[in-house]
Amino acid sequence: MKAYHLPVRVDFKSDSRDFWKRYHEFRRVRQHESRPDDPLRPDELEEKQLMRESAFDIRYRYEFTQDGRLLGWLSGSTSKPGTPGHDSNKHLFWADLYVRPDARRRGIGTSFMALLLELMDAHGCTIVGIGTEDDSGHAFLKWLGAEAKLSGAENRLKLADVDWKMVDRWAIEGPRRSPATRLEIYDGPLPEGMWNDYAPQLSSMLNGSPESGRMRKAADWASGSRPPCSRIFKRSTRMRAGSQPITRVRTHRCWRSTRSLGSSSFVPPPNIRSAATTLPRASHPCRRERAKAL
């Protein structure tokens, strides 16, 4: 009978190449099941991503192995004391786990749950958030008694099929239909001189986003009781693997102040020329109402 090992915490900086070999084989199995059409991130970039320290979160990673094979993986995080948003989110623990198909129904996922509870107790967390895209994951969470709080959709657009003439028409008509609004594009991190103006507006948009039964409490990126927003953006900028352009739409008001109506990021992966990710950060409630009226 083959012996199972208990989950072991992973130390990326001291682990040998044997670990990385089994980890990369494991993540290929996971991607083949969950997202077979997506390009795989190169091994060296994946390793850099995992070894990067977080300025905002306390992170944990555990592996479950048998005979040199990685069968299950658990990662989790919770906010660091003293960081922005900690006071309102310290009760939350975010987790991700996966068991390879040929190792399921052997108690590996259950063993991760016991470990997860220990980590939550250690930090005083009372709610765990786990996301899933697969039927097996939904079934496991249902078996645990987890309650669905948030659902989302991911859309794919083939750029070769885009009606670019229509896009050009939108670009021409936009300024004429909304002359008080302009589109600002920053190729790279947001300029430091804009942080104090941008941070409270981002908070307003995020807190106004429609979420049913959301677990995360109000975001506040510019509260005087927490580190200044300039420090927040500086930390965030340093954590990035590469430049992520920030697109910003603003409208000018008669009292000479500005309001952000929407924010998003366009992220071209450094290793993949055929794909890019657009992250719709948020839109101001007044902008959503305007869209309904059009």
pLDDT-based confidence at 122, cuts 50/70/90?
Answer: very high
Helix or strand (DSSP H, E) at 267: strand 258-267
Q: What is the fold, at CATH topology level, of the domain defined by 8-144?
A: Aminopeptidase (3.40.630)
The contacts of residue 210 (CB under 8 Å, 6+ apart) are: 288
Strand partners, 76: 60, 95
pLDDT-based confidence at 278, cuts 50/70/90?
Answer: low
Given a contact cutoff of 8 angstroms between Cβ atoms, the answer to whether 248 and 260 are in contact is: yes
Helix or strand (DSSP H, E) at 275: none
Residue 51 has pLDDT above 60, yes or no: yes
Strand partners, 183: 249
Residue-wise pLDDT tens digits, 195-212 = 787 777 777 776 766 655
Question: What is the token pair recorded at 141?
Answer: 């969470």
**What's the chain's average pLDDT?**
76
Residue 114 has pLDDT above 70, yes or no: yes
**Which residue is associated with the tokens 């975001």?**
219
- Output b/e per residue, 234-249; b: 16+ Cβ within 10 A: bebeeeeeeebebbbb
Residue-wise pLDDT tens digits, 228-274 = 444 444 444 443 334 444 444 443 332 223 455 555 555 555 555 55
* Residue 125: predicted pLDDT: 95
Indicate the pTM of the whole model. Answer: 0.69
Residue-wise pLDDT tens digits, 7-50 = 999 988 776 889 999 999 999 999 999 989 888 999 999 999 89
Q: If 0-12 CB within 10 Å is exposed, 13-18 middle and 19+ buried, where does residue 78 land? A: buried
Q: Which of 235, 226, 204, 198 is nearest to 56 (CA)?
A: 235
* Residue 227: predicted pLDDT: 41
The ranges assigned to domains in the chain are 8-144, 160-293
Question: What is the token pair recorded at 41?
Answer: 């991130």
Given a contact cutoff of 8 angstroms between Cβ atoms, the answer to whether 29 and 100 are in contact is: yes
Residue-wise pLDDT tens digits, 144-163 = 888 888 887 777 788 888 99
* Residue 221: predicted pLDDT: 42
- What is the identity of the amino acid at 194? M
Q: How far apart are CA 236 and CA 217, in angstroms?
A: 20
